[in-house]
Each structure stands twice: as C-alpha cells, then as structure tokens.
Amino acid sequence: MTPVTIVRPGEGELITANGPSQIRILEDGSHTGHRLGIGEITLQPHTPGPIQHRHAQHDEGFYVLSGTVRFTVGQDDHDAGPGTWVIVPPGAPHTFANLGDDPAVMLSTFTPDLYVQYFRDLKKMVESGQPMTAETMTPLWQKYATEISSEYRP
C-alpha cells in the first residue's frame, strides 16, 4: 500500500525569508514524484509582493483562504478574497500583495514542485546577509527559470 502523508496544523517546514511573508511547505514534492509542491503563504498587512516576474517551467496556483490579495498580471490588478482561485501558467507575468489591514493566507501550488527549493535557497541567501535586490536575485531566479517581467512596475 502506498503511504499517505498527513501534515497537521503547526507542522511542515516554515520558511521566513522575505520580511513579513512566510511560507509553510505542506508538500515539497517528495511524496508526489515531484509533480506537485504545496505551500501555505501568509502575507502580513500592507505587504508588497515580489517583483513582477514570469516562470518558464512551472504553473503556480493560489487559493485565497483569508484576507484579500491583490494579484497584478501585466498591467491588470485583480483583488481576490477568500474562496478565489488564481492559476498562473508558465510565461504569465504576475505578482501579488496584501494591501489590506488584516493578514492574508493563500494555499499555493507548484507544478512541478521545483519552485519549493527556490524558497529554501532564498532563505539561505537572506540568512547569509545578502540584500534582496534585482542584482542579487537574478542568479537565483535563473536557477529556477524565473525572470523579471517586462511589465514590471516599480
């Protein structure tokens, strides 16, 4: 019989590498043949998201559990409340932020799972004292087939 994986509240790998944001890894791909990674992302109030970017090798899904998350896709903004599902296919420019006064929580999927390791590598980079700038982030993004979007609005 194939084993079943259960991750209970408070379990999973917690990664805090991007200031007030954190991700709790619920599935790193090791139980899915690396077809799927899943994380729970918590954005504190008034938290800007990452620089608008594109992934070349994986789909990224976001299911908003609580709060409101602003997704920016190219030049278009979309406010997503609880129960909203957003799927970002490879090549689509995107970012997200919590502009509200309450924390926002999302369930995030990565298919395949390769982007889970990005968060681990980002944590190591931050812990080493490197600043998070486009210059320092570019090699990390390249490793995971990610690039700053030409639609990026500072």
Would the pTM of this model clear 0.85, i.e. be above it? yes
Confidence of residue 149 (pLDDT cuts 50, 70, 90): confident
3 falls within a domain:
no
18 falls within a domain:
yes
5 falls within a domain:
no
pLDDT value at position 154? 46
64 falls within a domain:
yes
C-alpha distances out from residue 138 to 20, 59, 142, Å: 21, 20, 6
Count of structural domains, the chain:
1
Confidence of residue 137 (pLDDT cuts 50, 70, 90): confident
Helix (H) / strand (E) element for 97: namely: strand 95-97
| Interval 46-98: pLDDT, tens | 998 888 889 999 999 999 999 999 999 999 999 999 999 999 999 999 999 99
Contact 66, 142 (CB under 8 A): no
| Interval 10-56: pLDDT, tens | 999 999 866 678 999 999 999 999 999 999 999 999 998 888 889 99
The CATH number of residue 79's host domain is 2.60.120.10
| Interval 100-109: pLDDT, tens | 999 999 999 9
4 falls within a domain:
no
8 falls within a domain:
no
Q: Is 65 helix (H, G, I), strand (E, B) or coil?
A: strand
pLDDT value at position 19? 66
By residue range, what is the domain housing residue 30? Answer: 13-146
66 falls within a domain:
yes
